[in-house]
Structure formats: C-alpha cells, structure tokens
Amino acid sequence: MAQANDEISTVQEQEQRHERATRSKAVEFLTSHATETAFTYEEEKAVLRRIDKRILVLVLWAYFFQQLDKSSLSYVSIFGLQEDANLVGLQYSWLGSILYLAQLVMQPLVALILVKLPTGKVLASAIFLWGSALSIMAACTDFPSLLGLRFVLGSFESCIAPCCVAITQMWWRRSEQTLRVSYWNAMNGLTSIIGSLLTYGLGHIHSNTLYRYQTIFMFCGLLTVVYSFLVFWLMPDSPMEAKCLSERERLIATERLRANQMGISNQEWRWDHAREVILDLKTWCWFFSIITISIASGGISTFGSLIVKSFGFDSFQTILFNIPFGVIQILAILATGWLATWTQRKGLVIAGASVLPSVGAIMMLTVPRHHKGVLLFGYYLVSTMASITPLIYAWQAQNTAGDTKKKCTSGIVFVGMSAGNIAGPLLYSTEDAPLYRTGLIANLAMFVTVGTIAGLTPFYLMHLNKKHEKRRVELGKVGPVADMSMLNKDKQKEWKDTKAMELEDIRDQKVSVEQDNGLQDMTDLKNEDFVYVY
C-alpha cells in the first residue's frame, strides 16, 4: 500500500510539474496583463508588420547563407574542383552526400537543443559555426580533408531548417505560416541567382597560391560569419522577450497565437510527446513525402551544374544558365505558397506541383542531346520541384502541437530530408555523363511518389478532425468549430471586434487564458480543440 501511495504521489508530482510548465511564460505573461489583451485589427496588423520586418528578414537571410554555403560545392564543381583536389569515382558524390549524413546524425540533438535552449541564440551560434567551417574548408586540397570539413559544415547547418520552422510556429498564426515558410525557402532560388553571379565574378580571379574553389569557399564563409553577429544582436528568443517590440506589442504578438492551439516554447522536454511522435501516422506521412522529394533535389542540387554543362555549354555559360533556374524556383515557391494559402488544400497543391518536374525529367531522358534549348527547358521544369519542400515543412508544422512534439516531428522530417539528400547524389556519377540516366529515372519515380502520398494524406487528416469533433461533443463543447487560426483577414477582423466587446472583467479573462488549450503544452492528438489543415 505504501509503495502504491508513493507511486501515486510521484505521478501527481510529475503532473503538477507538467502543469506548471504548461502554464509557461506565455500564460503567465497574458494573465499578468489580463485587462489589456483585447486589441484591434489595426493594432495586430501593425504588430505583424513589425514582426515581418525584423524576424522574417533575419530568417530569410539566415536561410540564404545556409543555402549559399551548402551549394558552394556545386558552384566550384565546374571550375576544376575534381582535378585540383584529385577526386575520382564517387568521391565528388560523397562530398555532396556527407553534408546530409551529418545533418541526419545531428537531428536528435538539434531537437533537444531547440527545446532546451533559446531559439534565437541557437540560430546565431549555428550560423557562426558553419560559416567558420566553410572558411576553414578553403585550406582543404584533397578528398579526406574536404570530406571532414563538409561533415562539420553539415553538422552545424543541421540547425537552420528546424530553427526556421520553430521560429515560424512561434511568431505567426497558422494562416500566415505557409507564406512565411515559402518566403524563406524561396531564398534557395535567390541563392542560385546571387551565388551564380558571385561565382561568375570570383571564378575570374586567378591566383598563384589559391585554387578558384578556395577563393569561393573563403569569401562565402567569411560573409556568413559576419552575418551571424547581426543575428545574435537582433534576433529575439520569443514574442514575450522581444526587446524590439513595446510591452503592448509583445502582448499582442503573444495573444494572437492562442488560436493556433499549438502552445508556445516552454523549454521542458516531454517524453510522452516524443513517444507520440513515433506512434503518430502523420509523422510518417511527412517523413516519406520529404524523403522522396529530397532524393530528387539532392541529386539535382549537387549535379545540376554538371548536367547543364553536359548539354554542351562551357563553364561560364553554365553558371549564367543557373540564374533562370533560381528565378523559376522563386516563382514556383511563392506561387504554390499563395495557392496553398488561398485554397487551404496543401495536399492537392503538392500533388499538382509534382507534375511539372515529372515532365521535365521525362524531357531530359528522351530528348536527343543536340537539342540544347529543349533540354535546358526540361531542366528548368525540374527546378519547380523546389516548391514542394516548403509546403511539406509548412504542412507538418501547422498540424503538430506541443513544444517537444513540434521539435521532434520537425527532427524526423529533417532526418528524412537529410536521408533523401544523402541518397540523391549517389544515384548520379560523373561516369554516367552526359546522359545521367540512372539519376534522372530515379528522380522521375520520386516525383510520382510524393504526389501520390500528398494526395492521400488529407483523408487521414479529415478522419482526425472527425475524431476531435466527436470528442468535443462528448465533453459538452460545440462539435463543428471555426478554425480561427486559418481565417482570412476580413474574418479575423470581424472576430476580433466581437471578442473585444466580450472581454469585460479581469477575472473571467484570467480564467480563459489559463484554461485555453491554445497556450498549454498539449499535443495535437490530445487537444480536442485542435483542427487539422488539409
């Protein structure tokens, strides 16, 4: 009996500790400002502009530098890297894959770091460390040293995408998240443009002491290190701690997130959340979607320049032809992001977005090599695959709640991304030039697979919504509910005006904040008020 009482006491202590944690800074912050939580649509719009100008801009350029540094290998490949570093066989392919192998290995640690440590400081530190690694890579002149530094580079870059997803979940409503994720992913396209122009200029530098690839590595790495100090200075760790916002603006920035029903960072690791991630079927829908598209993108990102060069262009022409590739990526990412936001049907948009790269892969496999223009057009169609990855990031982020579960789900998604990018370059080989048939056939299969998975996933999400609706009825709540976090701006304004009139006394508002599942550290499966996005 005494042992049973001790066990009950231990469970109660754990529940009390979790309850204190779920109150979190957000709950305490809002309850301490109970009389001020009503705000107008115009006030929220002004705060959103402030957040976009500070947080979004910092995230955009952080992702830009990560992509620039990661892609520098592809840029230098056409300036004789293989000959200068004596690379043979699949060694160049492994330089592309090892970065993602490092990211795969680091994802569990990254998930823990993002739960336990301030997100802004983690992001700034990661940028500094990977920029330093790329700068040091300029000293590498053989395969073992390049392989080792690429692994280090990937280890530190493993933080960037999970950080960006966590920041997006922390600062924006769900209706706003898809476009924000599209914005920072569109920096991949801007990297292709600016990176190509930088490489074109730096490639003309001839030195008696440095190979051209060393100059490019050093320039990109040092530029990234400088940017890391800017992020450390300007990036806040959460809406409640943002010194760039006034007290009133911090209050609005926090209060507006309640409708997400996702909670806000509380820096406590929850093992029950981690277990739920493994048992949640949605997790594996995201995982297999991202791994398939990453296999394709990994191969193209590493061998893209060599594929274009195989059409019969010289090195500098190849660099310039990568600029339209980047422009198309930006347009495709922004267009699908807007379409997914407007239709609120990500699965359908992803399935549709898989058609164009499939057509492009078929063209590159079937068109004779002397038709340079047609082959280049097919290559540009393949570049539209870049629009699929940010939609998967946004989709999984919008359908996951609970601090630990959000970070763990993102971690598994990025494990899939890393695994796909490891396999992708290995399906290509410089010995398969100029046709690269094995890699292109594999890419075509991946495009078809990701479209199929994306088309089926919404049916499972509909099933989960029906289960939550049934549970709400059993608890005496309203069955069908409007998802406030996904309302358009006009509906948001109408709702806020109504809400402002209803908030009359302090005590009632305090109770509503404390009892609102939207600020508790609850997973989406446990929170009956959570509405899944198709």
* Residue 247 burial (10 A CB sphere; 0-12, 13-18, 19+): exposed
Q: Using one digit for the tens of pLDDT, what is the confidence trace for 119-130?
A: 999 999 999 999
What's the CA gap between 253 and 57, in Å, rounded?
Answer: 17
Q: Using one digit for the tens of pLDDT, what is the confidence trace for 241-289?
A: 888 888 888 888 888 877 776 656 666 788 888 899 999 999 999 999 9
Record the tokens describing residue 342, joined without a space. 């407007």
Q: Using one digit for the tens of pLDDT, what is the confidence trace for 27-41?
A: 665 555 555 557 788
Query: Which of 33-47, 118-132, 466-480 ranks highest by mean pLDDT?
Result: 118-132
- Pair 466, 517: CB distance under 8 Å: no
At 152, the pLDDT band (50, 70, 90 cuts) reads: very high
Average pLDDT of the residues in 36-56: 86
Average pLDDT of the residues in 306-323: 78
Q: Which CATH superfamily is domain 41-238+254-469 in?
A: MFS general substrate transporter like domains (1.20.1250.20)
Record the tokens describing residue 124, joined without a space. 């700034």
pTM: 0.81
- Pair 89, 265: CB distance under 8 Å: no
At 521, the pLDDT band (50, 70, 90 cuts) reads: confident
Record the tokens describing residue 313, joined without a space. 């262009």
CB atoms within 10 A of CB 163: 26
At 15, the pLDDT band (50, 70, 90 cuts) reads: very low
Could you identify the residue written with the tokens 């912050």? Answer: 29
Q: Using one digit for the tens of pLDDT, what is the confidence trace for 430-441?
A: 777 788 888 889
Q: For residue 385, give the nearest of 346, 443, 439, 428 by alpha carbon.
A: 443
Task: Count Cα neighbours of 325 within 13 Å in the Cβ-side half-sphere.
Answer: 29
Could you identify the residue written with the tokens 């209803």? Answer: 502
Record the tokens describing residue 255, joined without a space. 């209060």
- Pair 223, 10: CB distance under 8 Å: no
What's the CA gap between 336 and 510, in Å, rounded?
Answer: 40
Q: For residue 117, give the nearest of 499, 498, 473, 407 by alpha carbon.
A: 407
